[in-house]
Structure 1
Amino acid sequence: RNVDSQLLVVRPDLNVAAFEDVTDQEVKSGSGMYFDIHCYKTTAPSAGMPVAFSVQVEDKSYYMCCEKEQGKMVVRFREGEVPKDIPGESNIIFFKKTFTSCSSKAFKFEYSLEQGMFLAFEEEDSLRKLILKKLPREDEVDETTKFVTSHNERHNL
């Protein structure tokens, strides 16, 4: 969820992930709304916990990745499973970090291949789309990079 309690919903047919106001009935159906956060072992814990995201949409599984498109980095969802092991640098890995030291339930996610680039949301065509956003300083408090997660983590050991 974002700071406005909107739920992140993936719509592969539109090639978009956006935050939406979702009814209780829609949440029960859950298609494209329940993300698994896959956690990986790390030798550099100071960078944050390495994680990857996957989501079920109807009967298919999708993983989140970042790709360069028209000169800028964009968030995409590709059909397939998250790998059990990451053999080095990967465009699916983010570092999970606490949003602020006083909040243990809110997180921000830094893209592993570009320091200072975080998952965020921005308004575009009346949608709050999931994007990558460059923060000038890591300690900057930017509400658009704040995510509240439920406990749906899978540890890949």
Structure 2
Amino acid sequence: MLFGGLECDAFCKEKILHRVLRNVNSQLLVVRPDLNMAAFEDVTDEEMKSGNGMHFNIHYYKTTTPSAGMPVAFSVQVEDKSYYMCCEKECGKMIVRFREGEVPKEIPGESNVIFFKKTFTSCSSRAFKFEYSLEQGMFLAFEEEGCLRKLILKKLSREDEVDETMKISF
């Protein structure tokens, strides 16, 4: 779509990778639809084989603005249902949610399901951070909440800051 001679942001699904996502402590990200949340957990080999809520589909999109990072969306299968990750504002705070359904094949403009995949640091090419597409400086991260390491959105105070809670590898 042309707008004043410039192309608007548009995302078109290019490929899908199937991966488990790990935090800095090598814990796996597990989706709990009954609690409408995801947390990084220690997972047994037996739980890993079932794969319930752990094997993510990372949907890569083509974009008209590649400088922002590689646009991706996340989905996961739990039992016989598919869930996609999105962010929603609740009580003035951005919350990571998992909604039942599929990730769209094409996204004509902005979307609350798109994250920009960026290398975590220049010396760790196998670790990444994921910036929320609708709010610059907000990244997926984990936060200790009791015995849980909950998936959240977290604001970086400085662009050059290295925050280990945002480090995700697969």
Match of 1:59 among 56, 80, 98: 80
Match of 1:6 among 27, 32, 49: 27
Q: Provide the residue aligned with 2:54 in structure 1.
A: 33
Shift of 1:140: 1.1
Separation in structure 2 between the aligned mates of residue 112 and residue 32 of structure 1, nearest angstrom: 24
Q: Provide the residue aligned with 1:15 in structure 2.
A: 36
Q: Provide the residue aligned with 1:101 in structure 2.
A: 122
Shift of 1:69: 0.7
Q: Provide the residue aligned with 1:50 in structure 2.
A: 71
Q: Provide the residue aligned with 1:124 in structure 2.
A: 145
Moved over 4 A (4+): none
Give the letter for the 1:41 counterpart: K
| Partner-residue secondary structure (3-state), 2:109 | coil
Match of 1:80 among 89, 93, 101: 101
| Partner-residue secondary structure (3-state), 1:41 | strand
- Give the TM-score normalised by structure 1: 0.93
Percent identity, please: 86
Q: Provide the residue aligned with 2:7 in structure 1.
A: none
| Partner-residue secondary structure (3-state), 1:89 | coil
Unaligned ranges ≥5, structure 2: 1-21
RMSD: 0.7
